Amino acid sequence: MSQLFFSNILKIMMSEKRQYKQLATLVVFLINFGACAAMAYEEPEYDVVQKKPDYEVRYYGDRLVAQTDQTGSSSSAFRRLFNYISGANTTSIKVEMTAPVTQSEKIEMTVPVTFENKMMRFFLPASYTIGTAPRPTDPSVELATVKGGYYAVRTYSGRASDRNFKSNSVKLLADLEKHQVSVTGQPVRATYNGPLTPFFMRRNEAMIRIEWE
């Protein structure tokens, strides 16, 4: 569907009753975050410590996130986090969107690792700390710090589908096993573009925490 289609839908919703305003705001986000593939969003900083043909090893420092359990619907989890950055917080301020949106996933693995609850995370701008970031008013959304560490990352294009993610995660795990790299976590799906970005222009990543010396 074209941006014009979504723009027309937005105009209709804006002329309707107040219950459509939140949905209209979400459509604006999808247009801005998804259709403008070239638009720059702040990303967590990292250092590339090694590059391989099909993946690279990155070191990330501690990162502040807003997170929510996505055991049920991923769209509901996204909506809760989007509401938080849109003003559903103790200061009623808007928080700048960053990239990527991450989702912890559980897939079959040959190595034993501890699996946390399935979480969806929005990274907060680097200007915030755990003490200065606005607190969520929704009790199902929390602020947390993702501890720094090393990640093996495989970048791929195409749709951010379960099938695409699992296929690339399996390939990444196979490469890590071949190179005798110890895996310490489950794969994480990192999505950088919204659904309005052409699939061939999308950037997706499969990330796995590893041991590294």
Enumerate the β-bridge partners of residue 119.
Answer: 69
Residue ranges with strand state E in the chain: 46-51, 56-60, 63-69, 101-104, 119-123, 141-146, 149-156, 188-191, 204-210
Percent of the chain with pLDDT over 70: 75
What average pLDDT does the chain have? 84
194 CB neighbour count, 10 Å cutoff: 19
Task: Identify residue 210 by its one-letter amino acid code.
Answer: I
Where residue 4 falls among pLDDT bands split at 50, 70, 90?
very low
Give the model's pLDDT for residue 2.
41
Same domain for 172 and 109: yes
Give the model's pLDDT for residue 8.
46
Same domain for 3 and 44: no
Give residue 141's domain range. 36-210
Distances (CA, A) of 110 to 107, 113, 168, 174, 184: 10, 9, 16, 10, 12
Write the pLDDT tens digit of every residue in 28-74: 555 555 444 445 689 999 999 999 999 999 999 999 999 999 877 78
Give the model's pLDDT for residue 1.
41
Look up tokens 């090893």; give the residue. Answer: 57
Write the pLDDT tens digit of every residue in 65-119: 999 998 777 889 999 999 999 999 999 999 999 999 999 876 655 555 555 678 9
Where residue 195 falls among pLDDT bands split at 50, 70, 90?
confident
Same domain for 27 and 43: no
Same domain for 108 and 11: no
Look up tokens 């680097």; give the residue. Answer: 126
How many domains does one find in the chain? 2
Global pTM reads: 0.78
Same domain for 45 and 5: no
Same domain for 49 and 27: no
Same domain for 100 and 198: yes
**What are the contacts of 10-16 at 24+ separation with CB within 8 A?**
none
Is residue 161 over pLDDT 70?
Answer: yes
Residue 99's nearest CA partner among 28, 190, 212 is 190
Same domain for 78 and 14: no
Same domain for 114 and 167: yes
Identify the H or E element spanning 178.
helix 162-178
Query: What is the C-alpha separation between 169 and 203, in angstroms, rounded?
Result: 15
Same domain for 43 and 120: yes
Per-residue tokens: 76? 């509901």
Same domain for 88 and 9: no
66 contacts 134 by C-beta, under 8 angstroms: no
Give the model's pLDDT for residue 114.
54
